[in-house]
């Protein structure tokens, strides 16, 4: 009875979530993205037996697939660590009501099982089980195989819930998880220790001997029970609000900026905003990955000959961090926007500080990624042109679109898989920044004059830098018109 009531409330909460009501266009874009990935995975699932038979011609594709399952668990745990939330606070409104604590904890854990995201992978598993497992073995084995995978997914779900409750979501843990995973892949490829082989054995044994399915069932039940007893012991308000505890505070103050008066003060404040709040901090941690983006493309001959692609990568490595942070500029400050509006300072300086911060990020990214030229000296020319384009053109685009940000941004949640506070303009802004440089460059490249294309990109960038003052003035003029609407939006949360 009580569970029915709790789940009904949760259902209402999801249906009435402000995400559905306010963000039609964002929902559509997200919907298209989800369908896109679902179709991709579905195709992968349908083709996976063919793919495996292509790689291992004389072997059983099901066993080979089983060999990947331990890696799947590792990757799944890694993604969950980044993305899965542990919403203990949602039971707060029930704690003072006559509901058994144990029921609440079962509800909390049971709820996570209901999350459809858990079963996303089954778009791959189900076609494979039909095409390969049922075909090579038989239907009951296919069912058993799928059942085993459900148990595995639940195990991952509860394990991550427990780890995150115990340790919080420290990026260091995510990093070490990633490193361990990479280590196993390395050991496998060096043939020192084969996780793949182990995985093949474990899961094939379970698949062929139904009795062994009891082992994963037991493990999953055990981790469920550990979670449950931990929650039962700790479900008190003081523990739920763990983030209020006295953490050591950072005294971030980059004295370099202090000499720039109010502009420096504003930059320092923004740096504090980034390192003291979870959501912008995740973007900071993502930055190194964006810088390493080049390693995906540069070592491969095909990409090195697709110069349009190289422009895309060039824009991304020096501008990626600037764009991901800049995309939500001013929205970052939504919780105290009223304070900014009523304090006496020149908004010119405010926007100059923003420009300076984004420029510093872009310049640093450019310098760090200079060594990419060791792959090929032409990367130096391409990336420099892209860098100038970022500095002179894209930063201004970011600043203009920042004036369209009207959604309150909750800084306390991680940025990974988080669409709270994101509007349609946050997607649209990417078009001019990423596509325009390619559209400018490619015609010249096709006419065998890539240098001209690079020179034009650079000139646009330099022009933007030279026109810095008038552009900032236009932005401020627009800001004074937009600010009421922005403030109004930021207050809604």
CB 227 within 8 Å of CB 158: yes
- Binding segment toward other proteins, per CB under 8 A, in 113-121, 166-174, 197-205, 332-340: 332-340
Q: Does 302 bind other proteins (CB under 8 A)?
A: no
Question: Can you tell me the distance from the alpha carbon of 330 to that of 403, in angstroms, rounded to the nearest whole number?
Answer: 8
Looking at 201, 346, 449, 492, which residue binds other proteins (CB under 8 A)? 346
Looking at 124, 207, 223, 273, which residue binds other proteins (CB under 8 A)? 273
Backbone angles phi, psi at 49, to 5 degrees: -65, -40
Give how far Cα 371 sits from Cα of 261, 376, 421, Å. Answer: 35, 10, 37
Site for other proteins in 455-484 (CB under 8 A): 480, 484
Q: Does 4 bind other proteins (CB under 8 A)?
A: no
Handedness of CA 126, 132, 133, 138 (dihedral sign): positive
Q: Does 338 bind other proteins (CB under 8 A)?
A: yes
Q: Using the minimum distance from each CB to other proteins, give the nearer residue, 3 or 336.
A: 336
Residue 39 in tokens: 């179709």
The CB-of-409 to other proteins minimum distance in angstroms stands at 13
Site for other proteins in 193-252 (CB under 8 A): 244, 246, 249
- Binding segment toward other proteins, per CB under 8 A, in 14-22, 344-352, 422-430, 459-467: 344-352
The CB-of-475 to other proteins minimum distance in angstroms stands at 16
Q: Does 343 bind other proteins (CB under 8 A)?
A: yes
The CB-of-468 to other proteins minimum distance in angstroms stands at 22
Q: What is the 3-state secondary structure (H, E, C) of 18-70?
A: HHHHHCHHHHHHHHHHHHHHHHHHHHHHHHHHHHHHHHCCCCCHHHHHHHHHH
Looking at 344, 377, 448, 470, which residue binds other proteins (CB under 8 A)? 344
The CB-of-492 to other proteins minimum distance in angstroms stands at 12
Q: How many CB atoms lie within 10 A of CB 201?
A: 13
Looking at 335, 369, 383, 405, which residue binds other proteins (CB under 8 A)? 335
Question: Can you tell me the distance from the alpha carbon of 84 to that of 76, in angstroms, rounded to the nearest whole number?
Answer: 11
Residue 351, classed as helix, strand or coil, is helix
Give how far Cα 467 sits from Cα of 17, 385, 459, 470, 477, Å. Answer: 44, 18, 12, 6, 16
CA 80 to chain centre: 11
Site for other proteins in 349-388 (CB under 8 A): none
Binding site for other proteins (CB under 8 A): 244, 246, 249, 262, 265, 269, 272-273, 276-277, 335-339, 341-346, 411, 480, 484, 487-488, 490-491
């Amino acid at each position: 009875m009580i569970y029915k009531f709790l789940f009904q409330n949760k259902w209402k909460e999801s249906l009435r979530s402000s995400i559905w009501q306010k963000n039609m266009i964002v929902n559509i874009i997200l919907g298209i993205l989800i369908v896109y990935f679902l179709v991709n995975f579905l195709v992968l699932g349908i083709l996976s037996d063919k793919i495996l038979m292509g790689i291992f011609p004389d072997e059983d594709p099901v066993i080979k697939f089983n060999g990947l399952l331990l890696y799947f668990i590792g990757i799944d745990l890694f993604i969950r660590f980044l993305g899965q939330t542990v919403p203990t606070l949602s039971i707060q409104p029930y704690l003072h009501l006559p509901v058994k604590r144990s029921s609440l904890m079962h509800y909390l854990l049971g709820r996570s099982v209901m999350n459809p995201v858990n079963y996303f992978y089954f778009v791959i598993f189900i076609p494979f089980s039909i095409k390969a497992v049922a075909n090579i073995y038989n239907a009951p084995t296919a069912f058993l195989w799928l059942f085993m995978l459900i148990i595995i997914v639940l195990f991952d779900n509860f394990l991550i819930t427990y780890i995150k409750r115990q340790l919080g979501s420290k990026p260091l843990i995510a990093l070490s998880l990633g490193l361990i995973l990479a280590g196993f892949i390395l050991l496998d490829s060096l043939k020192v220790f084969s996780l793949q082989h182990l995985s093949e054995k474990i899961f094939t044994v379970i698949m062929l001997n139904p009795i062994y399915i009891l082992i994963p069932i037991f493990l999953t039940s055990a981790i469920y029970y550990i979670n449950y007893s931990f929650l039962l012991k700790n479900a008190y308000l003081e523990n739920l609000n763990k983030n209020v505890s006295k953490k050591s505070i950072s005294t971030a103050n980059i004295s370099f900026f202090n000499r720039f008066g109010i502009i420096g003060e504003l930059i320092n404040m923004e740096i504090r905003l980034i390192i003291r709040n979870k959501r912008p901090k995740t973007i900071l941690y993502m930055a190194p990955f964006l810088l390493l983006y080049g390693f995906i493309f540069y070592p491969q001959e095909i990409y090195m000959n697709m110069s349009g692609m190289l422009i895309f990568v060039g824009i991304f490595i020096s501008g990626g961090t600037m764009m991901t942070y800049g995309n939500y500029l001013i929205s970052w400050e939504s919780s105290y926007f009223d304070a900014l509006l009523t304090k006496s300072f020149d908004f010119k300086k405010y926007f100059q500080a923003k420009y300076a911060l984004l420029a510093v990020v872009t310049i640093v990214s450019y310098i760090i990624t200079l060594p990419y030229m060791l792959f090929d000296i032409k990367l130096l020319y391409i990336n420099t042109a892209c860098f100038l384009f970022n500095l002179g053109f894209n930063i201004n685009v970011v600043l203009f679109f920042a004036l369209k940000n009207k959604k309150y941004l909750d800084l306390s949640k991680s940025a990974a898989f988080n669409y709270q506070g994101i509007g349609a303009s946050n997607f649209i802004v990417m078009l001019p920044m990423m596509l325009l440089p390619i559209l400018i460059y490619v015609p010249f490249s096709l006419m065998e004059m890539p240098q001209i294309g690079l020179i034009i990109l650079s000139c646009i960038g330099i022009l933007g830098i030279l026109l810095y003052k008038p552009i900032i003035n236009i932005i401020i003029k627009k800001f004074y018109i937009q600010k009421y609407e922005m403030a109004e939006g930021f207050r809604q949360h």
